[in-house]
Amino acid sequence: MRNEYAIAHLSDIHVGESGFKEGKVLECIGEVNNLSADLIVVTGDLTWGGLPEEFKAAKELVQRLEPEPLVIMGNHDARNVGYTTFEKYFGERMVSYEDDKVFLIGVDSTSPDVDEGHIGRVFLKNIHESIVAAPEDKVKIFTLHHHLVPIPNAGRERNILIDAGDTLKMLIENGVELVLSGHRHVSWTWEIENTAIVHAGTVGSPRIRGMASQNYSIIRITDESISVSLKLIGEPERKARRIKRLNLD
């Protein structure tokens, strides 16, 4: 295995929102491309209203990232029946990915025209089966747009995944090491048992909810640990926080 594996975790670009910060997004793209990350994940809300012109503009931005990112849907992308347009520009709404270091499943946790997240019992069973079948020597990663656990400093709690408890239980019981989410525009990390839950802030929305600026996360995985650092766009990377010891077979 390689020494250090870097993931750039971006979220909530929000093309089309009033006050959209295109300059921040472009700066972020430059920074991420300089990082030479092994993997880039974009955890949803690429658009404001799920409109075709927004998806087209979001695609033009996202396709500048290297390597090509894994992209999942957010609740804003599901507005105005954005599903088919999302698929036109970003492909499948369910992502599975594997390399020599990680095994990742990304899901669409949205429902049409509502902001709440939902996985559903049948889909959760399918995800469970995929995770159980994952190679034991890989870091298991699950990504979704909605948050599984409330986040501090994010204002009134709302739109959490309605079956968050069942989902969280399944992920923890099956040894998923890392969960990547977005949605609340606030960067925060929880550790529950052996699962680290990393929430990225927003790259392009003006609604930064008390954070210093638009931002993203950089996650580094070694054979021994996972660490996460906050990257405010245009500023030096914050000191990494070691969040988890790994004990891969």
Closest residue to Fe ion using C-beta atoms: 45
Does 177 contact Fe ion by CB under 5 A? no
Query: Torsions phi, psi of 43, nearest 5?
Result: -95, 50
Piece in contact with Fe ion (CB under 5 A), picked from 6-14, 34-42, 80-88, 118-126: 6-14
Number of residues that bind Fe ion (CB under 5 A): 5
Piece in contact with Fe ion (CB under 5 A), picked from 67-75, 82-90, 187-195, 233-241: 67-75
Q: Give the largest Cα separation in the chain, rounded.
A: 49
Alpha carbon distance 202, 214 (integer Å): 6
Q: How many CB atoms lie within 10 A of CB 239?
A: 8
Does 75 contact Fe ion by CB under 5 A? yes
| Smallest separation (angstroms) from Fe ion to the CB of 201 | 10
Of residues 102 and 160, the one with the C-beta less far from Fe ion: 160
Does 117 contact Fe ion by CB under 5 A? no
Of residues 5 and 90, the one with the C-beta less far from Fe ion: 90
| Smallest separation (angstroms) from Fe ion to the CB of 76 | 6
Does 108 contact Fe ion by CB under 5 A? no
Subset of 125-144 contacting Fe ion (CB under 5 A): none
Alpha carbon distance 93, 11 (integer Å): 16
Q: Indicate which single residue of 17, 38, 45, 77 sits in contact with Fe ion (rule: CB under 5 A).
A: 45
Does 50 contact Fe ion by CB under 5 A? no
C-alpha dihedral (49, 8, 217, 84), degrees to nearest 10: 20
Does 183 contact Fe ion by CB under 5 A? yes
Of residues 75 and 187, the one with the C-beta less far from Fe ion: 75
Q: Indicate which single residue of 74, 106, 117, 201 sits in contact with Fe ion (rule: CB under 5 A).
A: 74
Q: Indicate which single residue of 8, 9, 12, 89 sits in contact with Fe ion (rule: CB under 5 A).
A: 12
Alpha carbon distance 101, 4 (integer Å): 10
Alpha carbon distance 242, 163 (integer Å): 29
| Smallest separation (angstroms) from Fe ion to the CB of 142 | 17
| Smallest separation (angstroms) from Fe ion to the CB of 14 | 6
Could you list the residues that contact Fe ion (CB under 5 A)? 12, 45, 74-75, 183
